[in-house]
Copies of this chain bind each other. A is one copy, B any other.
């Protein structure tokens, strides 16, 4: 039985009769191939990551979702049969994952884009934080810690909230990603993040910061592909972290419909944005008691653990 992915936070969604991805009970994520060659481009990318020796194992195995070919399925919009990529559902192993999708790069159009496509992308890049910060948060869903049975309290702000976040806003959102102190949407917006899991999720040798730094190291030298409009997906499961069942956070590189040949240079656009994201996360780790920035422990005792 195929169903809508409840933890999908960005991209085309299979709701209200639209074409979007589906999941099954076996950890597969079925993503419809996009039109105008973008779908086949994404398939080619996944194949490349799966097989080309120029992609180091530490990158392809850890940061690229597993790819299991393509499959023709009944589309979610009821339009009939449609080819889908069969990918690993990267959140399937978590019961209550918190997810944040960060579209990397200040520019989402590529050198060969038509003027019309440039205008369309440029408008979005300027209206969001892409131009200012080098990335934009495309979507997020954070699940509260105080989770009772069948009581899924989560924070999933709408597009308007995420539109054009300032540096301070991003710091706050990323701090909330590693915090525990909310139990409703209102709390999530207003409460100062407690950063209860900052060290477990962002820090440590297996934490998100180290993973982003490993990706960065590759982007400093790889001259194979330029990744336009791709995202870094960050996932953590507060329950698992609390219970010691999870070692922290997970980073995946996703969305390859607009990946193009590098033509001999590094992907300076992606790398710059990635470094910007790294600086935010690194700052949050380095300054746990930042009153000014509204990022403060709320006296629940976790300060001592810093």
Contact A264 B220 (CB under 8 A): no
Q: A247-281 interface mask toward B, CB cutoff 8 Å, 1 = contact, 0 = none?
A: 00000000000000001111011111101100110
Q: A167 at interface (Cβ–Cβ under 8 A)? A: yes
Is A301 part of the contact surface with B, judged by Cβ < 8 Å? Answer: no
Interface residues of A in 88-113 (CB under 8 A from B): 106-107, 111
Contact pick for A279, options B220, B272, B280, CB 8 Å:
B220
Contact between chains at B167 and A264 (CB < 8 Å): yes
- Assuming the A-B contacts A223-B279, A272-B269, are A263 and B132 also in contact, with contact meaning beta carbons closer than 8 angstroms in the complex? yes
| Complex CA distance for A220 and B276, rounded to whole angstroms | 8
Question: Bound complex: CA of A220 vs CA of B270, how far in Å?
Answer: 14
A131 touches B111 (CB 8 A): yes
Taking the complex as formed, is A74 at the interface, i.e. its CB lies under 8 A from any CB of chain B? Answer: no
Cβ-defined contact, A132 with B265, below 8 A: yes
Chain B min CB distance to A219 (Å)? 8
> Which residues on the B side are within 8 Å of A116 (C-beta)?
none
A126 interface residue per 8 A CB criterion: yes
Copies in the complex: 2
- Asked if A221 CB lies within 8 Å of chain B CBs, one says yes
Q: Check B268 against A134 for contact (C-beta < 8 Å).
A: yes
Residues of B within 8 A of A269 (CB): 106, 134, 272
Nearest chain B residue, comparing its CB with the CB of A104: B268
Closest chain B CB from A52 CB (angstroms): 20
Q: Report the Cα distance A167→B131, complex, angstroms.
A: 25
| Complex Cα–Cα for A179 and B64 (A) | 42
A22 at the interface (CB under 8 A from B): no
A187: chain B residues within 8 A (beta carbon)? none
Q: Are A221 and B279 in contact (CB under 8 A)?
A: yes
Q: Is B272 a contact of A268 with CB atoms below 8 Å?
A: yes
Against B, the Cβ 8 Å flags (1 = close, 0 = not) of A142-166 are 0000000000000000000000001
Instruction: Select from chain B the residue with minimum beta-carbon distance to A293.
Output: B264
B271 touches A265 (CB 8 A): no
Docked CA distance A223–B275 (Å): 12
In the complex, A265 Cα to B133 Cα: how many Å? 6
Give the complex CA separation of A146 and B220 in angstroms.
37
8 A-B pairs with the lowest CB-CB distances in the bound complex, closest first: A167-B264, A272-B272, A134-B268, A268-B272, A268-B276, A133-B265, A266-B279, A167-B265
- List, sorted by A's number, 7 A–B pairs whose CB atoms are closer than 8 Å: A111-B131, A168-B264, A268-B272, A271-B272, A271-B275, A272-B272, A272-B275
